[in-house]
Amino acid sequence: MSNSPMTPRRITRQIFIGGVPVGGNAPITVQSMTKTDTRDLEATAKQIYDYAAAGCEIVRVSVPTPDAAKVFPEICARSPIPVVADIHFDYKLALAVADGGAACLRINPGNIGGQDRVKAVVDKAGSKGIPIRIGVNGGSLESELLDKFNGHATPEAMAESAMRHVELLERENFHNIKISLKASDVIRTVQAYRILAKQVDYPFHLGITEAGTVWGATIRSSVGLGILLAEGIGDTIRVSLTGAGEEECRVGHELLRSLCLRQGGFRLISCPGCGRLQVDLHNLATEIEKELQTINADGYTFAVMGCAVNGPGEAREADLGVAGGNGEGLLFRRGQLLRKVKEADIAAEFLQEAQNLVNS
């Protein structure tokens, strides 16, 4: 069985967000965006550290006002990962954050004014080697494009909007570009990226925007991004959740690992439960998964199984596994039975064996 996506990766030019390569043959990166008031330096810096600990590799920070721009250099100085400045309408803010340490500018060239302002931003970004991310959103397309496409942000309208912005930058001989085409539904987003992939070789940032709360957004993002990634489209991703940014990062990494596009992290196998269940599997698996995140278990597979039908087999195949029984569990390490433990002790003994495994 192949461990590669169904379609070879789309060939794109490579750019650098700070020291992180995006596009070309670089690993697909996971991004998130801060949800604090950017003017609150301490809260924003802490959130970025929390994101980085959860696997975030590039972080975006909104800079909507001059006061936010004043704090931005210190945010960049404190951040352990490259910071993308999110700018709308005011080109002077883009100039300020470019001088303040931005690793990338997220702008739409068409909404910052005339070509003279586009040139000012491009000249500044070019002199500092800063890429520009064109971010097209289905909820904020140009009015003339909406008129052209009967009032709807169709995939074709989104792709045309992106090309308009690209042309404004290319007119200034600027090609250090990344593009995103996000809608709040899966089908429009997928179709828009497919259309644009045939027109440019710039790297793509993938996402389903305004996807919803954690449960629904995780599903929609996994479906939409999974389709595109399996087709070889995408160079960096964000899973947008109305919830904690740390969860966005964890979901993003798990999505990439499930398609064999990234290594690292651990894999937890657990059964859904049925009438044969004789242990508290839900709480057991949840506790073990949470605590495994505190140890360096990258690359290991763990199994938490609930009964004697599939349990022993899956537990034996894992690096470390437990098969539950009647108020007890059998611990296995790489196919070898270690011992039988009481249900009340399963989590503690499992986690101790996991630590032993990692340390061995």
Q: Is the pLDDT of residue 223 over 90?
A: yes
Long-range interactions of 329-337: CB distance < 8 A, separation 24+: 329/279, 332/303, 333/357
CA 338 to chain centre: 38
The 10s digit of each residue's pLDDT in 195-219 is: 999 999 999 999 998 888 889 999 9
Mean per-residue pLDDT for 157-173?
A: 94
pLDDT in tens, 43-94: 999 999 999 998 999 999 999 999 999 999 999 999 999 999 999 889 999 9
State whether CATH 3.30.413.10 applies to domain 267-359: yes
pLDDT tens, position by position, 44-56: 999 999 999 989 9
Dist CA 356 CA 187 (whole Å): 46
- pLDDT tens, position by position, 11-23: 999 999 999 999 9
- SS3 assignment, position 232: coil
In percent, the amount of the chain with pLDDT more than 70 equals 98
| Among 44-53, 61-70, 138-147, 309-318, the least confident range | 309-318
**pLDDT, mean over the chain:** 91
> pLDDT value at position 355?
94
How is the chain split among helix, strand and coil, in percent rounded to 5?
Answer: 45, 20, 35
Enter the tokens of residue 339. 């011992």
Tally Cβ neighbours within 10 Å of residue 67. Answer: 12
Which segments of 120-244 are extended strands (E)?
132-137, 177-182, 204-206, 236-238
The closest alpha carbon to 21, from 100, 82, 65, belongs to: 82
| Edge-first strand listing for the sheet containing 320-324 | 267-270, 301-305, 320-324, 328-333, 336-342
Q: Where in the chain is the domain with CATH 3.20.20.20?
A: 15-258
Whether the pLDDT of residue 278 is over 90: the answer is: no
| CATH node for 15-258 | 3.20.20.20
Q: How many helices (H) and strands (E) does the chain have?
A: 12, 15
Query: Tell me, what amino acid is at 191?
Result: Q
Residue 329 has phi, psi (to 5 degrees) of -150, 150
The reported pLDDT for the residue numbered 274 is: 80
For the chain, where do the domains classified as CATH 3.30.413.10 start and end?
267-359
Contacts of 236 (CB under 8 A, 6+ apart): 22, 28, 29, 30, 31, 58, 178, 203, 204, 205, 206
Model confidence at 287: pLDDT above 90: yes
**The pLDDT value given to residue 3:** 57
Predicted confidence at residue 188, as pLDDT, reads: 94
Rounded to a whole number of angstroms, the distance between the first and last alpha carbons of the chain is 30
d(C-alpha 150, C-alpha 180), whole Å: 23
d(CA 239, CA 248): 5
pTM for the full predicted model: 0.87
Cβ–Cβ < 8 Å for 205, 31: yes
Report pLDDT for 173: 95
The pLDDT confidence band at residue 306, using thresholds 50, 70 and 90, is confident
